[in-house]
Copies of this chain bind each other. A is one copy, B any other.
Amino acid sequence: MSATVIDGKKIAQEIRNEAKAEAAALVEAGVQPCLVVVLVGADPASKAYVGSKVKACEETGIKSIKIEMPATASEQDLMTEIDRLNSDASVHGILVQLPLPMQMDEDRVTERIDPAKDVDGFHPENVGKLSIGIDCLTPCTPSGIPELITRSGIAMSGKHAVVIGRSNIVGKPMMNILVQKGEKANCTVTCCHSGTQDLKQFTQQADILIAAIGVPEFVTADMVKPGATVIDVGINRVDDTSAARGYRLVGDVDYASVAPVAGAITPVPGGVGPMTVAMLMKNTTKAARMIHGLASR
């Protein structure tokens, strides 16, 4: 017996196709959805992420604008740019690529973005609405996970979901998503983290196990209940002299040992990763619809 491999590439493509149809409907209604991505500095990983977002926009029919600022820019320079984008009616989504240089405060920058254009879902107002259960823009990575699960034919309601990790980008919003009512949630939710004692006793009880720790191959077979759905949010580089690049990408789950135990599992790469950009496209069309009163807010 081996786990069903959850095909993140295929499901991400489905979602991108839906976003493409939504973008076309917006254009039909006279609205060209537009995402602005702000990149401060020249971190190679950040440049690559921004590049893939811009490319996804092109394929989806979303106008994209890339704004590059030098690593030496001041926080005020960035704030001025955000203010300009907030008041530009032709812009529906604003994404400031993280991390930011040391001289900038990420919380302050995030709070400056108009919540209605906050396609990353990181503004406190959106974080709060997500918890309360008010429709809003929600963080891309955790929002993609119920899509991965349910579109693979796995029911979520009533299941016990265990989240490992309490980051503001994945763990905490994941917990707040899973606890809501609705078919793509309604889970009993446990959140484990660095303060958890005897982690294994919790993970072994998970029907749905979501690993977002940032430690390579941390989750091993003995931590997983047979038949569980295992979602691996990690993307870690580990040295590998046999690889042309000198490293390979692995998740937070020890795939080789866990796959034979799990009922379903996401690979790395090709699992959670492709969903993040797909959900960003969805968020951008949603922001455009909300701003133009074409959807409930």
Contact = CB atoms under 8 A, between A and B. Distances in A.
A195 interface: yes
A131 interface: yes
A187 B179 CA distance: 17
A176 interface: yes
Contacts of A202: 160, 188
Interface in A195-220: 195-197, 202
Interface of A: 107, 123-134, 157-158, 160, 166, 168, 172-173, 175-176, 179-181, 186-193, 195-197, 202
Most B-side CB within 10 Å, residue of A172, A188, A189, A202: A188
Contacts of A193: 179, 188
Given A125-B128, A168-B132, A187 B181 contact: no
A232 B187 CA distance: 23
A196 B205 CA distance: 14
Give the top 6 A-B pairs by smallest Cβ distance, nearest first: A124-B128, A127-B128, A128-B128, A186-B195, A190-B190, A188-B196
Contacts of A186: 195
A195 B131 contact: no
Contacts of A125: 124-125, 128
Contacts of A157: 195
Most B-side CB within 10 Å, residue of A172, A189, A195: A195
A172 B191 CA distance: 13
A261 to B, nearest CB: 21
B188 A191 contact: yes
Contacts of A190: 188-191
